[in-house]
Structure 1
Amino acid sequence: MLRMLTVEDEPWISKGIEKMLPWQQYNIQIVGNARNGKIALDLIKLYKPDIIITDIRMPVMDGLSMLEQLNKEMTSYPKIIIISGYNDFDYAKRAIKYGVSNYILKPIDPEELKTTIENIKNQIERERQERENISIIQLKNYIYERISNREKHMDADVVFPCKYYLFIFSLVPISNEELKNIGRNFLLRMGSQHIYVVYEDSSEALINIIKTNIKQLQKRYPCGVSQIHEGEDLSVEHAYKEAIQNLKYYREDEKNVSNHVFLNIEDESKLLLALKQGEKRVFTQHLNEILDNNQTLEAHWFILFQLYIEISKYFNIDNRLDQNKAWLQEFKSISQWDDLYRWKAIFFDPLIDYILYKWDKYSKDYSLQVKIFIEQNYHNSSLSLDMVAEYLELSPSYLSWLFKKETGINFTSYIAKKRIEEAKKLLIQTQLNLYEISKAVGFNDVKYFIKVFKKEVSLTPIQFRELNT
């Protein structure tokens, strides 16, 4: 429910506003009335209203002075409706400066107020959806960096849009029709892997989705599902590993990946680095050493499976293995050494040659291209690893790894620093308010902008401006 505060020194007018519209039908709760701007500032801090209807002429502190103070403190960015008995253009001009949504003359016309409230309510809903979309972009970038670079830090700025989530892991894309049946979700493309993050406000809702829709989904797609995790738990690599371990296309007899780990992290890293650097000899030599140290068919099966999972995280191999389901069928049916040798010769070795050909150590300077792309698009709040990776025709997870390796800083941190540097210029060189500056540098949420700015500069934007102007 949206919260609304009225600021009016005439009680009969504030009472009239309360009775003028059926506020409950608009999903709006009037949380209070302030007799002047000074009292209103305290109530704004307490209730954090989404909408404020305020008069201009009031004792102690008038409406515009209140808005000026609110603009400085930046405790909230509610939608403002000004009401006044003075048809004065100067007032309207000053009001626009503080981001006022509408200016209504007294006596208030109920139809005009109704139209204004409906427009503002629609605007708030659009902005909330946009904030959720931006939150998902930040979250996706975080997951890419967390899994691709194995970074252990926790990012307090990243939040899940709901309280609970789970991962679905698949090596083939799930149709949009199927996805509609599993609730709110978004897709992470990690090379040839498809990671679907499903989220809801309650664990019961996710349990119900698992029992019904996801169980049916697993009959049609080779996919694994993680446990349910709380949104505050940002150790997303746990959900990722669980989803891989719960894949449903293993042989149903002795093979169970959760109990067999033949390829350790050090081996994985060494093999992947050889691939990423185009070192076929190093890759082949190390893989053969690992296989020689594990003599059983089962061990070879799991080593190649684990390696394929890691390779598919970084490299877009869908076009090369467009018969992914056939590949999986062949792989799970391996029961003797001849089957394994045949599968390796037909599927695995050509795949490695393809990757080494395409991703050799003499590839373009992608990190420079990323920096140029960011320079041209930092003002776009939707800028993401997905967007840059699509532009460069790379896997987002590979791009994340490559950018961190070559620059020493992850993609998200680089964008944040770029945006804050541009914001510092605007704070010094212009009179734009914080809302306008945050928009100009790609932050749609001004409170988040202030938080990131303070984290980078150790000062609030207002403190920085006062010290440098």
Structure 2
Amino acid sequence: MKKIILVDDEIFARKGLLGLISWNDYGFEIAGEANDGEEAIQLIEELRPDLVISDIRMPVMDGLSLIGEIRDRGIASPKFVIISGYGDFKYAQQAVRFGVQDFLLKPIDEEELAQTLIRIKGVLDREVSRHDSRQSLNLRLERLLAGESDPGYARETANLLGFRADQDFCYFLVERNNTPFGSASEAEAQQRLSGWKRAAAETFGQSLKVTVCEQGVSTFGLIVPSDSLTGLGKSWQALGEALVRAIPEEERAEVRIYAGKPAKGLHAVAESYRTAKKAVRYKFAFADSRFIGYEQTLEAELNYVELDAKLHARLVESVEESDAGSCAHLVDRMFETFCRERFAPESVRSAIARCVLGVISIVREMEGAEQELSSLKPVLDWHEEPHTPDGLKRLFHTFLTESLAYIAELRKEKAKGDICKIKSYIEANYRENLSLKSIAKKFYMNPVYLGQLFKKTYGVYFNDFLLNIRVQEAKKLLRKTDLRVYEIASYVGFSNADYFATQFEKVEGKTPTEYKNSLLAKN
């Protein structure tokens, strides 16, 4: 039995409709009733009905809004029949645009309702039949590709597909790359992939038969018989290039197509499928190729190697030094290396992960939180969805750019905290042999940057600040003790008494002795 939900804010109208005909005689059962659109949404999500019959005018949420909400949410895909009055013709027109199956005028005619149910039941049955047929065929194709079929089973499948089982076959894998993270982007990418399937089918012309094999959200496969080579130079390579050209130009950079080893007969297509999957692994080795055929994979072996340690170290150092230009240059060199040295995907993944972990270490050393980097998860999980070399490079660049900005911000925050510590350190250790260079080394800062930051923060140069502290302390000692000038000079951090006297006079306008004598003259 097909399930129906009735939606109407008037309970008597619902009950009248409920008893109007024998629903079971037409293959339907009433699974639930709702007073308005909002209540109907909950029921539809819970019961997943095959058909919803709804009044067009209701409080809270009307019939059209209900249809729109169900379509937008994608929680179910029931058929809709709208009930309307004579004055609701403009709404009925909109309902047709929404894709409703039918609309019934009040008062509802029993015969008209029965004919509507018969027609919709037919539509639903045909959809189920097509779905079951496709499911059955998909299972057959899965067995073929898994190598679990014999020649007899392959012949049966070929008959269903309209192929000659004894001709050559080649498996083509069409791959969508660089899908941005996020559900909205994923839905958009799925739409594009469906368009590519249509383009691929159109490439062969209506008279040629090609079987589409579902491979997941990012790829689909094509089992292509050799008679599809007619008009394409009888070359699988030419066919692959034609497929690439069939993709819309603005999306072509995101597609990669791979071809396996041609198989002698449909029963052997599993080997073509296996070698097409192997060709995918050459994506970084043939970075500029949008089509990679089995023959190309025979040209060179993939290498399972580590990225040059010096290149990795220089990249991490460039991040630490906030050198964006050097980072960009080194990333280009990395990807050139992937291609030149035929890096296997595992080696590419290892190289990217190693560099990312190096950047994370810098962030942690600066007391930052790598979770603040929105590009971290995409760059760590890039291998979970297909990426072209250029797509991965853009993803990696995005991560490094964000990391450079975040590290610069951390450095500023750290410097703000450190400059206070530095000031306190100078005030506590002014007697020591202090210099801008020695303090910068102690606090792991660049001396030039420290000098600029100190002046910006306190409005005075480092040397003048240190001198002023020493002179003020010397004045206290001149006022309160009988220490000699050379003793005071040594106490406040000067190794040379004459130099101390010169610097004291520079600040106070008089020598230490003159300052002492002026104090005595006042007594």
How high is the TM-score relative to the length of structure 2? 0.34
Higher relative CO (Cα under 8 Å, sequence separation at least 6) belongs to: 1
How high is the TM-score relative to the length of structure 1? 0.38
Pick the structure with greater CA Rg.
2
